[in-house]
Amino acid sequence: TSANIDLDRSSRCGYPEVIFCEGKTSASLVEIFSTLLESNQRCLGTRISEEQAETVLKQFPQAIYNQTARTVRIPEKDAAFDEKLIAGEIAVLTAGTSDRPVAEEAIETLTWMGYEPDFILDVGVAGPHRLQEQLPRIQNVSAIVVAAGMEGALPSVVGGWVSCPVIAVPTSVGYGASLGGIAALLGMLNSCAANVTVVNINAGFKAGFIAGLIADQKHSTS
């Protein structure tokens, strides 16, 4: 077989291995998802193309495809997503409308983990009153994901208003000196707000996953 899936990940890390679909054949994806489902694990595929998604959906009709997020989710047998999602714990924000795909990847990841995040779109710093109006929605959560491109200033501003961790995810939105997201990444790493931590450019999946793990700590009984 072409892959060596880490079926033990769930027991070590809390969640099954997530599949990065870019560069894999559709056949290989079907094989991988089957292996996971057989060992009774729920699947998440990221960076899936429309063509790959079509094959996967044909094979697994129960799969949930999000074209904007470029994700596919498949629940374990006899289970379902979205049933008893935990709300009120996580917020996902974007600076502009163009940052939406990255934010949706985070949201899909969180849904797969069992959370229902609050989604707040297009509240970038050039129109500062827009964030001001949403402050009540972000001041009582356990973790906040903030996706921003260009200069990536929004996470710092959000960080100044809250007491939970802010997971900043730089996006490649912008041009010229944005260097494909490097400008936003550097900005976020140098945030003067102490509660801002950073993931890779366009890494909506990682941002969502970290946010989910933080919320998990609250619920863990150990």
Told to check if 46 binds ligand AMP by CB under 6 A, we report yes
Told to check if 170 binds Mg ion by CB under 5 A, we report no
Distances (CA, A) of 168 to 6, 85, 156, 195: 28, 23, 9, 10
Q: How far is CA 115 from the centre of its chain?
A: 11
Told to check if 98 binds ligand AMP by CB under 6 A, we report yes
Choose between 78 and 221: whose C-beta lies nearer to its own copies: 221
Told to check if 104 binds ligand AMP by CB under 6 A, we report no
Distances (CA, A) of 94 to 72, 195, 199, 215, 216: 22, 18, 15, 20, 23
Contact partner at residue 13 from ligand AMP, its own copies, Mg ion, none, CB < 5 to 8 Å by partner kind = its own copies
Burial of 163 (0-12, 13-18, 19+ CB in 10 A): exposed
Helix (H, G, I), strand (E, B) or coil at 167: strand
Piece of 36-44, 57-65, 92-100, 210-218 that binds Mg ion (CB under 5 A)? 92-100
Query: Nearest-CA neighbor of 141 among 170, 116, 111?
Result: 116
Told to check if 161 binds its own copies by CB under 8 A, we report yes
The amino acid at 182: I
Told to check if 30 binds its own copies by CB under 8 A, we report no
Told to check if 27 binds its own copies by CB under 8 A, we report no
The amino acid at 150: M
Piece of 12-20, 112-120, 164-172, 212-220 that binds ligand AMP (CB under 6 A)? 12-20
Indicate which single residue of 143, 144, 146, 147 sits in contact with its own copies (rule: CB under 8 A): 143
Told to check if 96 binds ligand AMP by CB under 6 A, we report yes
Alpha-carbon torsion (66, 69, 72, 77), positive or negative: negative
Piece of 49-57, 80-88, 92-100, 112-120 that binds ligand AMP (CB under 6 A)? 92-100
Told to check if 157 binds its own copies by CB under 8 A, we report yes
Indicate the residue whose CB is closest to ligand AMP.
96
